[in-house]
Structure 1
Amino acid sequence: MLKTYYNCPISDEPVHEVLPRDGDFVEFFCPTCGQFRISNKSITSMRRRSRSEREAMLTDARRDAQGGDGIPLIRDSHSHARKTDDQR
């Protein structure tokens, strides 16, 4: 069963949250971003980031999901990796 959630933490569009929550992440279905998971800690940190930074974190999570269950999981470590890449 889907529960309507506020807005996508990436695109800021209305999305659906899958219930129940499993572990330390929330799973979303966004018409723009697709299906992805995001850690609770990352949801909070997304508010401080630009849309391009949020999209880059989702891109990193998609790359990391290849070969796994296929559902990207955005973790706070994606923001640390992005900062390191940007500082080069």
Structure 2
Amino acid sequence: MKYDIWYSAIDGDYYKTSDTLEEANNDFAFVLTMYRLVPLFEMRLIEIDSQGEYKVIKSFKNMKANNKDIVMAKAYYNSRTCKGE
């Protein structure tokens, strides 16, 4: 089994693969803590078996943000952080 954490935050979309559920749970908690002051829009912890089938174990969704807000927030964030390019 492998475990993927996928998350969408103001600074981009990311995923991380873990070999154990314990490691994946720790990473899930770390991401929630890391983004406590910065918008985290959505996150999932997914279990993937040897046949490639997956099952969502945990999920988080920021209920205050809709898709339009997310796109606008990411565009604003990118415009503020990509100076000099």
Higher relative contact order (CA 8 A, sep 6+): 2
Kindly indicate which of the two structures has a greater share of residues assigned to helix.
1
**Same fold by TM-score, threshold 0.5 exceeded?**
no
Give me the TM-score of the superposition, normalised by structure 1. 0.31
Larger Rg: 2
Give me the TM-score of the superposition, normalised by structure 2. 0.32
Kindly indicate which of the two structures has a greater share of residues assigned to strand.
2
